[in-house]
């Protein structure tokens, strides 16, 4: 079986190893771009394999760098690989791969944080959200310094079916610092359960595929790395706008160690905090003395639904952002008069 698998692999003309190319072109890692290269072919192949069957698929790779993972992706016979890279120093090493696999590799230079992937993925690869997964994958050994803002942006895009997800439920296989990978996938009562766990899990099925030792990267980062695979859910587990969910979840985790009624109460302005918090918990049927990390996604679903009902009835409450005494004063100056003799219905 292994032999057959090897036969199915794309064969390249003889190429220098990525390690040699890095030396030849003096591609020293730039710290500001969080460059930690993976030069061990067994590991780059393992990442490409973790994405599942990518044969005849379009694969978007984020941050190819010198091209180690790109080679392993190309070996698995995708239809096309599209890479997005910020650092132009990798032009020569990526050109070598382009020459080795004519027509297979497209290179885009830019910042993935603001990159509109729907424009570079051919429309014929789209698949309806409710149907099969599209033949499109996103893979990347992400730079640590942007991995959390990037996955937050992409989760928001999954929720709105925008960017790559205008093409359907495009799966992602990405690396994160081990601790972030654990946060993304943490279940209830896990000490890593946090805002990221809820945001990732209500929109996607996500799991850690394997851990890579920090010592496998060049240069070696201080931490180990987790490879996480995400598959967008057909139906999100919370059916409210992303921004609303983000706000409720953010406030719930703003005081981790307290019972959840305390942090959740910060959704409401000081002068009406008690009454609206009671209204929220009564309506959501969530036990107020639960710790935030013990709340299940279903609890968040009911808290978000109850909060959405409240701000529909009292839009001024939705404008409140808990930050400081100043935020409360501002809110009070604008809206307090309406709530002066406020009684709960």
Look up residue 210 and give its two tokens: 């394997």
Question: Is 43 marked as a binding-site residue?
Answer: no
Question: Of 2-10, 138-146, 237-245, 287-295, which part binds ligand SAM (CB under 6 A)?
Answer: 138-146
By CB under 6 A, is residue 176 in contact with ligand SAM? no
**Least distance in angstroms from the C-beta of 225 to ligand SAM:** 9
DSSP label at residue 73 = H
Using the minimum distance from each CB to ligand SAM, give the nearer residue, 47 or 186: 47
- Give exposure, 139-165, as e/b (b: 16+ Cβ within 10 Å): bbbbbbebbbebbbebbbbbbeeebbb
Using the minimum distance from each CB to ligand SAM, give the nearer residue, 85 or 182: 85
Using the minimum distance from each CB to ligand SAM, give the nearer residue, 75 or 85: 85
Separation between Cα atoms, residue 281 and residue 71, nearest integer Å: 53
By CB under 6 A, is residue 141 in contact with ligand SAM? yes
Question: Of 1-9, 48-56, 141-149, 180-188, which part binds ligand SAM (CB under 6 A)?
Answer: 141-149
By CB under 6 A, is residue 226 in contact with ligand SAM? no
Look up residue 6 and give its two tokens: 């090897």
How many residues line the site for ligand SAM (CB under 6 A)?
21
Using the minimum distance from each CB to ligand SAM, give the nearer residue, 140 or 236: 140
Using the minimum distance from each CB to ligand SAM, give the nearer residue, 61 or 246: 61
Place of tokens 């695979």: 229
Question: Is 99 marked as a binding-site residue?
Answer: no
Q: With helix as H, strand as E and coil as C, how does 137-178 read?
A: EEEECCCHHHHHHHHHHHHHHHHHCCHHHHHCCCCEEEEEEH
Per-residue contact flags (x/-) with ligand SAM for residues 86 to 115, judged by CB under 6 A: xx-----------------------xxx--
- Give exposure, 301-314, as e/b (b: 16+ Cβ within 10 Å): bbbbbbbbebbeeb
Residue 31, SS3 per DSSP: helix
By CB under 6 A, is residue 65 in contact with ligand SAM? yes
CA angle in degrees (0–180, nearest 5) for 89-94-97: 160
By CB under 6 A, is residue 116 in contact with ligand SAM? no
What is the 3-state composition of the chain as percent helix, strand, coil, each rounded to the nearest 5?
Answer: 50, 15, 35
By CB under 6 A, is residue 34 in contact with ligand SAM? yes
Residues 33, 223, 271, 311: which binds ligand SAM (CB under 6 A)? 33
**Least distance in angstroms from the C-beta of 113 to ligand SAM:** 5
Residues 68, 78, 263, 269: which binds ligand SAM (CB under 6 A)? 68
Separation in Å, CA 315 to CA 60, 251, 318, 319:
41, 18, 5, 7
Q: Are the CB atoms for 56 and 135 separated by under 8 Å?
A: yes
Binding-site entries for S-adenosyl-L-methionine: 36, 38, 63, 85, 111, 141
Contacting residues toward ligand SAM, per CB under 6 A: 33-38, 63-65, 68-69, 84-87, 111-113, 141, 143, 146
Binding-site entries: 36, 38, 63, 85, 111, 141
């Amino acid at each position: 079986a292994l032999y057959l698998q090897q036969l199915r692999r794309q064969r390249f003309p003889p190429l220098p190893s990525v390690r040699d190319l890095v030396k030849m072109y003096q591609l020293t890692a730039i710290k500001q771009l969080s460059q930690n290269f993976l030069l061990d072919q067994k590991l780059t192949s393992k990442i490409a394999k973790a994405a599942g069957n990518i044969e005849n698929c379009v694969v978007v790779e984020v941050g190819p760098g010198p091209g180690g993972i790109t080679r392993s992706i190309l070996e698995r016979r995708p239809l096309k690989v599209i890479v997005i890279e910020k650092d132009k120093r990798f032009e020569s090493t990526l050109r070598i791969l382009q020459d080795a696999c004519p027509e297979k590799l497209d290179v885009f230079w830019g910042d993935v944080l603001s990159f509109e992937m729907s424009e570079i993925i051919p429309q014929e690869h789209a698949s309806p959200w409710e149907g099969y997964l599209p033949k499109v994958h996103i893979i990347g050994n992400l730079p640590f310094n942007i991995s959390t803002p990037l996955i937050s942006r992409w989760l928001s895009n999954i929720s709105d079916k925008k960017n790559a997800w205008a093409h359907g439920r495009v799966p992602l296989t990405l690396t994160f610092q081990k601790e972030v990978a654990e946060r993304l996938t943490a279940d209830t009562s896990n000490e890593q359960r946090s805002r990221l766990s809820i945001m990732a899990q209500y929109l996607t099925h996500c799991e850690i595929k394997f851990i890579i030792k920090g010592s496998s990267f060049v240069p070696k980062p201080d931490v180990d790395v987790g490879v996480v695979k995400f598959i967008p859910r057909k139906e999100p587990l919370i059916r409210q706008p992303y921004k609303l969910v983000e706000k409720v979840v953010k406030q719930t985790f703003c005081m981790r160690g307290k019972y959840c009624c305390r942090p959740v109460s910060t959704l409401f302005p000081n002068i009406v905090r008690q009454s609206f918090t009671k209204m929220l918990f009564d309506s959501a049927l969530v036990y107020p003395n639960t710790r935030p990390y013990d709340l299940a996604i279903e609890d968040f679903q009911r808290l978000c639904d109850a909060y959405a009902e409240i701000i529909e009835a009292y839009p001024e409450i939705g404008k409140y952002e808990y930050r400081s005494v100043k935020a409360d004063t501002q809110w009070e100056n604008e809206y307090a008069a309406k709530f002066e003799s406020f009684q709960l219905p």
